Structure 1
Protein backbone atom coordinates (compact mmCIF):
# COMPACT_ATOMS: atom_id res chain seq x y z
CA UNK A 1 0.00 0.00 0.00
CA UNK A 2 2.77 2.46 0.86
CA UNK A 3 4.52 1.74 -2.44
CA UNK A 4 1.31 2.35 -4.38
CA UNK A 5 0.74 5.64 -2.52
CA UNK A 6 4.32 6.76 -3.22
CA UNK A 7 3.97 5.92 -6.91
CA UNK A 8 0.65 7.78 -7.11
CA UNK A 9 2.12 10.88 -5.43
CA UNK A 10 5.18 10.73 -7.68
CA UNK A 11 2.93 10.44 -10.77
CA UNK A 12 0.84 13.44 -9.71
CA UNK A 13 4.01 15.43 -8.99
CA UNK A 14 5.41 14.52 -12.39
CA UNK A 15 2.19 15.57 -14.14
CA UNK A 16 2.20 18.92 -12.32
CA UNK A 17 5.86 19.46 -13.20
CA UNK A 18 5.25 18.68 -16.90
CA UNK A 19 2.25 21.03 -16.93
CA UNK A 20 4.31 23.81 -15.31
CA UNK A 21 7.16 23.22 -17.78
CA UNK A 22 4.75 23.55 -20.71
CA UNK A 23 3.69 27.01 -19.48
CA UNK A 24 7.25 28.42 -19.38
CA UNK A 25 7.76 30.77 -22.35
CA UNK A 26 10.49 29.93 -24.83
CA UNK A 27 13.90 31.27 -23.94
CA UNK A 28 16.01 33.24 -26.38
CA UNK A 29 18.45 31.36 -28.58
CA UNK A 30 21.93 32.84 -28.17
CA UNK A 31 25.36 32.59 -29.74
CA UNK A 32 28.42 33.66 -27.79
CA UNK A 33 32.03 34.50 -28.54
CA UNK A 34 34.75 35.90 -26.24
CA UNK A 35 33.08 39.29 -25.73
CA UNK A 36 29.93 39.22 -27.90
CA UNK A 37 26.54 37.70 -27.14
CA UNK A 38 23.84 37.69 -29.84
CA UNK A 39 20.30 36.46 -29.15
CA UNK A 40 16.92 36.07 -30.85
CA UNK A 41 13.75 35.23 -28.92
CA UNK A 42 10.61 33.36 -30.00
CA UNK A 43 8.82 36.66 -30.78
CA UNK A 44 11.46 37.73 -33.31
CA UNK A 45 13.18 40.31 -31.09
CA UNK A 46 16.96 40.34 -31.42
CA UNK A 47 19.76 41.87 -29.43
CA UNK A 48 23.52 41.75 -29.00
CA UNK A 49 25.79 42.62 -26.11
CA UNK A 50 29.44 43.53 -26.72
CA UNK A 51 31.84 44.18 -23.84
CA UNK A 52 34.97 46.28 -24.27
CA UNK A 53 36.71 47.05 -20.98
CA UNK A 54 34.27 48.89 -18.69
CA UNK A 55 31.90 49.70 -21.55
CA UNK A 56 28.97 47.57 -22.70
CA UNK A 57 27.44 48.14 -26.13
CA UNK A 58 23.87 46.89 -26.62
CA UNK A 59 22.13 46.75 -30.00
CA UNK A 60 18.73 45.36 -30.79
CA UNK A 61 15.60 45.05 -32.88
CA UNK A 62 12.12 45.27 -31.36
CA UNK A 63 9.71 43.36 -33.59
CA UNK A 64 6.47 44.76 -32.14
CA UNK A 65 7.51 48.38 -32.70
CA UNK A 66 9.57 47.58 -35.81
CA UNK A 67 12.43 49.65 -34.44
CA UNK A 68 16.15 49.30 -34.00
CA UNK A 69 17.87 50.61 -30.89
CA UNK A 70 21.35 51.02 -29.43
CA UNK A 71 22.52 51.65 -25.89
CA UNK A 72 25.94 52.25 -24.35
CA UNK A 73 26.67 51.55 -20.68
CA UNK A 74 29.82 52.90 -19.01
CA UNK A 75 30.79 51.59 -15.59
CA UNK A 76 32.79 53.56 -13.03
CA UNK A 77 33.13 51.49 -9.86
CA UNK A 78 29.63 50.99 -8.44
CA UNK A 79 28.07 53.55 -10.81
CA UNK A 80 26.88 52.78 -14.34
CA UNK A 81 25.70 55.48 -16.77
CA UNK A 82 23.74 54.59 -19.90
CA UNK A 83 22.50 56.40 -22.99
CA UNK A 84 20.44 55.05 -25.84
CA UNK A 85 18.68 55.92 -29.06
CA UNK A 86 16.07 54.18 -31.21
CA UNK A 87 15.37 54.33 -34.93
CA UNK A 88 12.12 56.25 -34.29
CA UNK A 89 14.12 59.09 -32.66
CA UNK A 90 13.48 58.26 -29.01
CA UNK A 91 16.53 58.81 -26.80
CA UNK A 92 17.11 57.94 -23.14
CA UNK A 93 19.65 58.43 -20.38
CA UNK A 94 20.02 57.06 -16.89
CA UNK A 95 22.17 55.50 -14.25
CA UNK A 96 22.37 52.56 -11.84
CA UNK A 97 24.22 52.79 -8.55
CA UNK A 98 24.99 49.76 -6.43
CA UNK A 99 25.00 50.18 -2.65
CA UNK A 100 25.59 46.80 -1.03
CA UNK A 101 22.80 44.47 -2.16
CA UNK A 102 20.66 47.38 -3.32
CA UNK A 103 20.63 49.09 -6.71
CA UNK A 104 19.36 52.67 -7.12
CA UNK A 105 18.04 53.27 -10.64
CA UNK A 106 16.93 56.37 -12.51
CA UNK A 107 16.18 57.04 -16.18
CA UNK A 108 14.30 59.40 -18.45
CA UNK A 109 13.48 59.34 -22.14
CA UNK A 110 12.55 61.83 -24.83
CA UNK A 111 9.26 59.92 -25.16
CA UNK A 112 8.20 61.28 -21.78
CA UNK A 113 8.98 58.24 -19.64
CA UNK A 114 10.97 58.60 -16.47
CA UNK A 115 11.38 56.55 -13.32
CA UNK A 116 13.32 56.33 -10.12
CA UNK A 117 13.26 52.97 -8.34
CA UNK A 118 15.25 50.77 -5.98
CA UNK A 119 15.97 47.06 -6.40
CA UNK A 120 17.20 44.61 -3.79
CA UNK A 121 18.61 41.12 -4.27
CA UNK A 122 16.30 39.96 -1.51
CA UNK A 123 13.01 41.73 -2.23
CA UNK A 124 13.39 42.51 -5.95
CA UNK A 125 12.27 45.79 -7.54
Structure 2
Protein backbone atom coordinates (compact mmCIF):
# COMPACT_ATOMS: atom_id res chain seq x y z
CA UNK A 1 0.00 0.00 0.00
CA UNK A 2 2.83 2.39 0.75
CA UNK A 3 3.85 2.53 -2.93
CA UNK A 4 0.23 2.87 -4.14
CA UNK A 5 -0.44 5.64 -1.64
CA UNK A 6 2.80 7.39 -2.48
CA UNK A 7 1.98 7.16 -6.21
CA UNK A 8 -1.48 8.60 -5.54
CA UNK A 9 -0.07 11.44 -3.45
CA UNK A 10 2.74 11.98 -5.90
CA UNK A 11 0.26 12.24 -8.75
CA UNK A 12 -1.87 14.70 -6.82
CA UNK A 13 1.17 16.73 -5.73
CA UNK A 14 2.40 16.92 -9.29
CA UNK A 15 -1.07 17.76 -10.54
CA UNK A 16 -1.39 20.56 -8.00
CA UNK A 17 2.05 21.85 -8.89
CA UNK A 18 1.10 21.85 -12.60
CA UNK A 19 3.85 19.41 -13.49
CA UNK A 20 3.82 17.96 -17.00
CA UNK A 21 2.02 14.63 -17.31
CA UNK A 22 4.94 13.26 -19.36
CA UNK A 23 6.83 12.38 -16.16
CA UNK A 24 4.40 9.62 -15.14
CA UNK A 25 5.53 6.06 -15.90
CA UNK A 26 3.52 4.44 -18.68
CA UNK A 27 0.77 5.96 -20.77
CA UNK A 28 -2.76 6.43 -19.48
CA UNK A 29 -5.96 6.82 -21.43
CA UNK A 30 -8.03 9.69 -20.06
CA UNK A 31 -11.43 11.23 -20.62
CA UNK A 32 -12.02 14.79 -19.52
CA UNK A 33 -14.97 17.11 -18.93
CA UNK A 34 -15.19 20.53 -17.26
CA UNK A 35 -14.86 19.14 -13.70
CA UNK A 36 -13.91 15.48 -14.13
CA UNK A 37 -10.80 13.65 -15.30
CA UNK A 38 -11.03 9.85 -15.53
CA UNK A 39 -8.03 7.70 -16.49
CA UNK A 40 -6.95 4.09 -16.90
CA UNK A 41 -3.24 3.34 -17.14
CA UNK A 42 -1.38 0.55 -18.91
CA UNK A 43 -1.22 -1.55 -15.71
CA UNK A 44 -5.02 -1.54 -15.27
CA UNK A 45 -5.19 1.05 -12.49
CA UNK A 46 -8.09 3.47 -12.79
CA UNK A 47 -8.72 6.80 -11.14
CA UNK A 48 -10.88 9.88 -11.42
CA UNK A 49 -10.40 13.44 -10.22
CA UNK A 50 -13.48 15.61 -9.70
CA UNK A 51 -13.30 19.25 -8.62
CA UNK A 52 -16.09 21.10 -6.86
CA UNK A 53 -14.96 24.59 -5.85
CA UNK A 54 -11.82 24.20 -3.74
CA UNK A 55 -12.52 20.53 -2.95
CA UNK A 56 -11.00 17.71 -5.01
CA UNK A 57 -12.51 14.22 -4.94
CA UNK A 58 -10.33 11.30 -6.06
CA UNK A 59 -11.60 7.78 -6.59
CA UNK A 60 -9.66 4.85 -7.92
CA UNK A 61 -8.87 1.20 -8.28
CA UNK A 62 -5.42 -0.23 -7.49
CA UNK A 63 -4.92 -3.24 -9.76
CA UNK A 64 -1.96 -4.71 -7.83
CA UNK A 65 -3.81 -4.59 -4.50
CA UNK A 66 -7.22 -5.37 -6.03
CA UNK A 67 -8.87 -2.63 -3.99
CA UNK A 68 -10.86 0.52 -4.45
CA UNK A 69 -9.94 3.76 -2.71
CA UNK A 70 -11.36 7.25 -2.24
CA UNK A 71 -9.70 10.48 -1.16
CA UNK A 72 -11.03 13.96 -0.48
CA UNK A 73 -8.79 17.05 -0.62
CA UNK A 74 -9.62 20.48 0.73
CA UNK A 75 -7.56 23.37 -0.57
CA UNK A 76 -6.84 26.51 1.46
CA UNK A 77 -4.56 28.78 -0.57
CA UNK A 78 -1.22 26.98 -1.01
CA UNK A 79 -2.14 24.23 1.49
CA UNK A 80 -4.19 21.12 0.71
CA UNK A 81 -5.36 18.68 3.40
CA UNK A 82 -6.52 15.20 2.43
CA UNK A 83 -8.12 12.12 3.93
CA UNK A 84 -8.67 8.78 2.29
CA UNK A 85 -9.92 5.24 2.79
CA UNK A 86 -9.57 1.96 0.89
CA UNK A 87 -11.86 -1.06 0.69
CA UNK A 88 -9.49 -3.07 2.89
CA UNK A 89 -10.09 -0.57 5.72
CA UNK A 90 -6.83 1.35 5.51
CA UNK A 91 -7.22 5.08 6.08
CA UNK A 92 -4.76 7.92 5.58
CA UNK A 93 -4.38 11.64 6.21
CA UNK A 94 -1.88 14.22 5.10
CA UNK A 95 -1.20 17.49 3.41
CA UNK A 96 0.51 19.09 0.41
CA UNK A 97 2.03 22.54 0.71
CA UNK A 98 3.10 24.48 -2.34
CA UNK A 99 6.05 26.83 -1.97
CA UNK A 100 6.97 28.36 -5.32
CA UNK A 101 7.76 25.52 -7.72
CA UNK A 102 8.14 23.03 -4.86
CA UNK A 103 5.49 20.88 -3.23
CA UNK A 104 6.06 19.50 0.28
CA UNK A 105 4.03 16.34 0.89
CA UNK A 106 3.43 14.50 4.17
CA UNK A 107 1.10 11.63 5.00
CA UNK A 108 0.50 8.81 7.46
CA UNK A 109 -1.77 5.80 7.22
CA UNK A 110 -3.48 3.37 9.56
CA UNK A 111 -1.35 0.65 7.96
CA UNK A 112 1.69 2.12 9.70
CA UNK A 113 3.31 3.89 6.77
CA UNK A 114 4.22 7.55 6.79
CA UNK A 115 6.44 9.73 4.67
CA UNK A 116 7.52 13.25 3.91
CA UNK A 117 8.79 13.99 0.42
CA UNK A 118 9.37 17.06 -1.72
CA UNK A 119 8.63 17.48 -5.42
CA UNK A 120 9.89 20.20 -7.73
CA UNK A 121 8.62 21.14 -11.18
CA UNK A 122 12.13 21.08 -12.60
CA UNK A 123 13.81 18.18 -10.81
CA UNK A 124 10.84 15.91 -9.94
CA UNK A 125 10.58 14.05 -6.65
TM-score norm. by structure 2 comes to: 0.75
Distance 1:77 1:103 in 2: 13
Paired positions, count: 101
- Are 1:79 and 2:79 counterparts? yes
Report the equivalent of 1:38. Answer: 38
Report the equivalent of 2:94. Answer: 94
Report the equivalent of 1:8. Answer: none
What are the equivalent positions in structure 2 for 1:15-54 lying under 5 Å apart? Answer: 26-54=26-54
Deviating above 6 A after TM superposition, structure 1's stretches of 4 or more consecutive aligned residues are: none
1:63-114, Cα deviation, whole Å (9 max, x unpaired)? 1111000001110000000110000000000001112222221100011110
Extract unaligned runs of 5+ from structure 2: 1-24
Q: Which has the larger radius of gyration?
A: 1
Report the equivalent of 2:123. Answer: 123
Higher relative contact order (CA 8 A, sep 6+): 2
Give the superposed CA RMSD. Answer: 1.4
Task: Give the SS at the match of 2:64.
Answer: coil
* Displacement of 1:122: 3.1
Distance 2:121 2:39 in 1: 25
